[in-house]
Chain A
């Protein structure tokens, strides 16, 4: 139905375009606007009324019909609380979609079928209304077409608003992220105190499933996850920072075009490999390797050690650091290098004493962005790090991270009122704040010191 509606919308717009253009072409010259603009203007008058009607209709009518369907149920099936309301809604929707579960009661099935027929009826009405609205819009706009009508202004004004709307989607997205995590996080904090969350040292959300159990409140101490994330991140940075920086320096200062032609694709391939592939490699190859090497050397290495996940994550981040660092090193003016060479400095001395200090703000910013990427990386740790929230700084142990907990808690069906599910959003909120903060600081550093040497 939706597809038919949108197809019709486009068809009518196209029709309106040809109608408007044809009419404007038959007017005596000179025209205030080209015929194509008259056509486009008419198309807009078909398109936007239909789109507006659709949005309005979809926002109101299905909900209305759903609530009517639920209130039409006999009293013993009436939902008592929000939870059973959503369950009932799901059942009805399943009937509408033709995928009801087998154990559904006959009355609900009947109500669902009634709802389905109501919905399809509503769809037909929407189609007719849409046609009417578009027709009226086009009819009115067509009657306005004269020699003097400045159709281009209407069209360009609309296009301008469209452009603004498109660029505002970024803001809407940010808003959506903030709203969704903040809202659920507040709900979480009505169940678990923020102090327990931020400073608790025990994380075991699994016990919170049944209310009547001992310890049913679960433990939502964030510290072990934070430490775990930190350990993996530090291991990753120990790999990524030296490799990334040295390859960037080499590429920018030493590499001949032939070496660049080889090295650049290497780093681009590393950047292009999906994280799930890194995760597979970390879990099935690197982790057993690290464990065996560790055991051979007499250490007790967990088979899901933070070290293995960290090393692979470090390699994943390497191209990120190297490309950012490459940019800032190349931005250092050549005159400064020439000055240093003129004093008799070798290339490495120039790099160490002139180029790197000049590029330092940019490099620091690059490393901070890399840290933010390491903290937010999910697939490698989900596949290669553990689930047990151990409070340890030893990278040979198994640790868990913020992202692992978010992912594992939200896989599969969830109840949206248990502290366990909501804690994932609280963790998401923390993650968002962390990465946003690192990002803002990094951009600030890069911006503040950028102009210094130019």
Chain B
């Protein structure tokens, strides 16, 4: 008896544990399933965070611009040789020459053609704008010295912002003796001040060696499939590469040994006695180099009065030469270079010079295009929705219209671009790149969205409203236009704003109709050539200048802000006016 009871209890517990196991498994499956859902949402959220932060980080440098402050003697010979103070002459005079002269004053020792060109290259081609504006406004300034700020070129600008290379600055800890004031000099420190610079050169040698080794491997891969002369040539190349690697590795291994520095290695600059020396050979305590800016004295410099700057990116792989870097660094040591907010980004049209490019042209173009779109698609869309929802008989025609609208909503935007190109540009002969054509094409694209949203809004108005109007003797149209439509309006407006927000970001069809053209002027009419903001983003993203990357990201931010505002308005409208019946 007890035995039986025991086995029963035993089997029961076995069954129970099997059930419990199954249950655990089912709950685990449940938990996993839930986790997939959460993971999907988290991935989506992370993507947004990554995208937005990427855009914001990339855009930061576009919102500031760097200017150099200069005291410019406005000489009458350059500006107004005839002395008539004719506004036209003043407007077209060569102010850039004045700025260049003023900049050269800062570096009296710069005489060689190349150095002078490097110095001139620091200034943007639009640098003279401020000076020009002031002199034109007040011709009395001619003959005086004017304190003005000049815009730096994009490369110089990026260098000042630290985007070209990281710069490491160290104070000299020992007292340094200098062998001369100009030409090739030797600087000897009593401490091992140059050890860090030496180490960074060695590191760069090692990375060069590994890059060469990788190339040798790649060539070897190619060589395997070749024969004859080609193979011998490739083999020779491999051997040469490997030999170079060996040399570099040997130099790397010899820690502490003096190292010669060329354009492939990080640049080391020594600022001492008011001059700048670029190292060509480094050891831990001594530097041989050429002076970039002559020294003012050959006396020994005490500890802490001189410093070493290491530019991490080698000269060969950056767009700012050592000479330009030295100019900028000297100017900035004199406190002449200032960063300020880049207002002109919002007040200028497109330009091929990154530091001069702005979004206003694209913004105005977008505004004009959106105006055309709104004027066309809102009334047509609402009227079509009213017809389909209120008046259309249930027949083939109505069904055909509805199928068409649904299909149009799914037609790729680029096909609408083809339509615009073939019909509006080629058949009707409308102007290329014009906001009116862009607006037309986008209106056709926005139409299905607006119709669908308006129909939903009209359908949401309860039949009792209609019936009450009809009951007191209104015609069907009166009932619709006087009673149903006003009540549906908030819903229609919400749908329209969201459709407009989508249209604002539309790019592909506008590229088709030529709005990708490079337009410098701010468009002032519907038939003038214009670009729109998203197309400008597209064309900037393609440009090779690094500075345009930041500009592109900044333009994206501007676009996103507008989209955000439009959507916020739509949400507010919905919250305030939406009624549940």
Q: Does B367 contact A (CB under 8 A)?
A: no
CB pair A267–B44 under 8 Å, yes or no, is: yes
Contacts A177-B411, A379-B508 given: A167-B392 contact, CB under 8 Å? yes
Give B32-90 interface residues, CB cut-off 8 Å to A.
32-34, 36-41, 43-45, 47-48, 50-51, 54-55, 58
Interface digits, A250-272 against B, CB 8 Å rule (1 contact, 0 not)? Answer: 11001000010001001101101
CB pair A167–B388 under 8 Å, yes or no, is: yes
Q: How distant is the Cα of A425 from the Cα of B37 in the complex, in angstroms?
A: 42
Interface digits, A71-102 against B, CB 8 Å rule (1 contact, 0 not)? Answer: 00000000000000000000001000100000
Q: Which residue of B lies closest to A378 (CB)?
A: B508
Q: How distant is the Cα of A258 from the Cα of B15 in the complex, in angstroms?
A: 41
Q: Does A169 contact B (CB under 8 A)?
A: yes
Q: Contacting A379 at CB < 8 Å: which of B411, B423, B507?
A: B507
Q: Contacting B55 at CB < 8 Å: which of A169, A270, A281, A346?
A: A281
B417 surroundings in chain A (CB, below 8 A):
410
Q: Which residue of A lies closest to B481 (CB)?
A: A159
CB pair A376–B44 under 8 Å, yes or no, is: no
* Chain A residues within 8 Å of chain B by Cβ, number: 89
Q: How distant is the Cα of A443 from the Cα of B538 in the complex, in angstroms?
A: 34
Stretch at the interface among A179-187, A197-205, A216-224, A389-397: A179-187
A276 surroundings in chain B (CB, below 8 A):
505, 507, 534-535, 537-538, 541, 556
Q: Contacting B418 at CB < 8 Å: which of A177, A245, A318?
A: A177
CB pair B501–A272 under 8 Å, yes or no, is: yes
Contacts A176-B423, A267-B44, A270-B47 given: A170-B39 contact, CB under 8 Å? no
Contacts A170-B447, A283-B541, A346-B27 given: A411-B516 contact, CB under 8 Å? yes
CB pair A160–B40 under 8 Å, yes or no, is: no
Q: How distant is the Cα of A318 from the Cα of B46 in the complex, in angstroms?
A: 13
Stretch at the interface among A114-122, A124-132, A431-439: A431-439
Q: How distant is the Cα of A126 from the Cα of B559 in the complex, in angstroms?
A: 42
CB pair A263–B41 under 8 Å, yes or no, is: yes
Q: How distant is the Cα of A376 from the Cα of B418 in the complex, in angstroms?
A: 13
B58 surroundings in chain A (CB, below 8 A):
284
CB pair A379–B538 under 8 Å, yes or no, is: yes
CB pair B383–A166 under 8 Å, yes or no, is: yes
A328 surroundings in chain B (CB, below 8 A):
none
CB pair A163–B560 under 8 Å, yes or no, is: no
Min C-beta distance of B362 to chain A, whole Å? 12
CB pair A424–B418 under 8 Å, yes or no, is: yes
A250 surroundings in chain B (CB, below 8 A):
34, 36-38, 40-41
Q: How distant is the Cα of A203 from the Cα of B315 in the complex, in angstroms?
A: 42
Min C-beta distance of A411 to chain B, whole Å? 6
Q: Does A337 contact B (CB under 8 A)?
A: no
Min C-beta distance of A280 to chain B, whole Å? 5
CB pair B383–A162 under 8 Å, yes or no, is: yes
CB pair B541–A280 under 8 Å, yes or no, is: yes
**8 additional contacts, CB 8 Å, given A156-B475, A270-B47, A280-B552?**
A160-B391, A184-B422, A246-B40, A275-B505, A351-B33, A376-B413, A403-B508, A424-B418
Pick 8 A–B contacts, CB within 8 A, sort by A: A164-B387, A171-B401, A171-B404, A247-B41, A273-B560, A276-B556, A352-B33, A372-B412
